[in-house]
Chain A
Amino acid sequence: MANGICVFAEHYNGNIETVVAELVSAAHFIKETTAEKIMAVVVSQDCETLIGQMGRLDVDEIYAVKTESDCAFQDDALSSVIADMIREIDPSSVLVPATITGRSVFSRVAAKLGCGLTADCTELLVGTRENGSYYIKQNKPSFGENVFVTIVTKEGCYPQMMTVRPGVYTPYEAKEEKVPEVKYLDIKAPASKVKVVEKRPAASNADSILAAEIVVVGGRGTEEEESFKLLKSFADSLDAAIGGTRPLVDTGFIPFEHQIGQTGYTIRPRICVSFGVSGAIQHTEGIKDTKLMIAVNKDEEAPIFNIADYGIVGDLNEILAKYLEK
């Protein structure tokens, strides 16, 4: 009988990704109701280092497979190992970071196991069936952020597998270090048909926005050339980088690399000021760890006010013009 909540311990360059602790928070929430064990799954050349980083996650068990070479980006080989691990562990649910690697590897795992994979969940709730068994209600945004849907893995279909959006849950941190039970599984990675040729610093100027202390974000309200000029002057006065949502990228005023949200980058500026941006959901993914977020929008119902620290309802052109006058 499938049992246990499994979390994929994604890692890169020898570090467990922050999102893993977030997923463990979600797992602890599920555990409160189902009382299942929480298990982490790790696949690496150097499992020991990674396991050492998981001491404060309060997981019950860690399942590890030590690979002979670094399998990063070899999603065909990785998915084969992970599918074998899941077959052996037989968990009732698998929580995966909704990251480039997570969705790529686990799409293949889902096809191998014939189980589903719900994408990009922002909320996991526990439901109870008539026969007393538990299931996970997997809530996710759809059509941009306009609608949320609840997805359920069919009864009898295990594991219930889902990717969870980074930044939604607070990272779990237990007060005390705890050494979980570690089980190494004897699974061999097959030869991959993908290899990494080289890694180089990104050539594009996206770096400037990734590293920026202050970011000014323009949305649909800044598509007009005049408005964009004001936005640009404002950004220049603060020595800030300019990011934008899809409509602004579509105008060509800012490069694709500066798109924030669904298809763009996650930025971590200290200060973020947005003008004419209405959306909220894409931004929770696109902007993180901001100390000060100010939003200006003419629609007082704009969802951006649900995530901003300060909200101003008004005309961005007028406000920017006044700001620049001084």
Chain B
Amino acid sequence: MNIAVLIKQVPVSNDVSVDPETHSLVRASSEGMINPADLNAIEEAMILKEQTEGKVVVFTMGPPEAEKALRDAMALGCDESVLLSDRCLGGADTIATAKPLARAIEKYGKFDLILSGALSSDGATGQVGAMVAEYLDIPHISEISAVQYDGADTIRAVKKYQGEEVVMEAELPALMTVCFGCNEPRLATLRTKRAAKNKPLETYTNAELQFDAEEIGIKGSPTIVTDSFSPERTRRAVMMTGTPEEMAAKIKELIEIEKGKN
């Protein structure tokens, strides 16, 4: 089974503020890492690879620095990688991100399964996976917590939904988005990190992807960010002060009053 994994490089820290004058974002650090839920997607791919053989190719779209995320993914066991990087792809919303990813997957080869993290830690839209599935015209199951594959031409997944586990089956090829925390991602070792340096990495620019300028990047995005601002801080809580002892007593009292109601 050949598997494509879609990953996103996200900032290590969500410590971002807004410059009150320019309304532009001020980041505490520019350091990037693989989105946490994508690590769970990679782990799921690795488990399936051990079971079925085949190769795992990891895709990301971003600036040239996103190569680091791809190398990290290959250090975890992914075999090959593709970086979609071109200035004209920049500023894309989810639609203009999913379109090039879908085309890159088609161009690279034939995949039975495509995995991605369910939500990113920065934008957290949870949309790109399902959109890629739509552009590839394949079924998808979103926000799953387990995958089961028995070698047939369908694949099963478990989705936690309103206190139940829903077991679903999709015809292959299919796409699934994997929930953060649903498995224990393996760690890279010095040896696998070294090996990752020599694994194949292809870069696709728009010369390979062949989109019209108005289909991608800011121009191809139906939505635009027009402003950013700091959240309003309106205090709602009744604030209480005192010694730890007094506060402990207060907590006890409040809980007992609430418990006594009915």
Contacts and interface: CB of A to CB of B under 8 A. Distances in A.
Given A75-B142, A193-B171, A259-B181, A199 B163 contact: no
Interface string B202-242: 00000000000000000001111111111101111111110
Nearest to A318: B244
Contacts of A194: 139-141, 168-171, 174
A110 B226 contact: no
Nearest to B25: A147
Interface string A308-326: 1111111100111111011
Interface of B is mostly: mixed
Contact of A119 (B16, B121, B124, B133): B124
Nearest to A282: B124
Contacts of A305: 235-237, 239
Interface string A204-222: 1011001000100000000
A295 interface: yes
Interface in A135-187: 137-138, 141-154, 157
Contacts of B180: 256, 263
Interface residues of B, number: 85
Given A117-B94, A149-B225, A202 B167 contact: no
Contacts of A243: none
B259 A116 contact: no
B165 A203 contact: yes
Interface of A is mostly: mixed
Interface string B245-262: 101101110110011010
28 contacts: A73-B168, A75-B130, A75-B141, A103-B142, A110-B127, A115-B222, A116-B223, A145-B231, A147-B25, A148-B228, A149-B229, A150-B228, A152-B223, A194-B170, A199-B165, A199-B167, A202-B160, A206-B160, A238-B255, A292-B254, A292-B255, A294-B254, A295-B237, A305-B237, A306-B235, A306-B236, A312-B250, A315-B244
A201 B131 contact: no
Contacts of B131: 107-108, 110-111
A146 B240 CA distance: 26
A16 interface: no
Interface in A217-253: 238, 249
B179 interface: yes
B143 interface: yes
B245 A154 contact: no
B182 interface: yes
Contacts of B228: 142, 147-150
Nearest to B241: A313
A189 B21 CA distance: 51
Contact of B222 (A112, A154, A270): A154
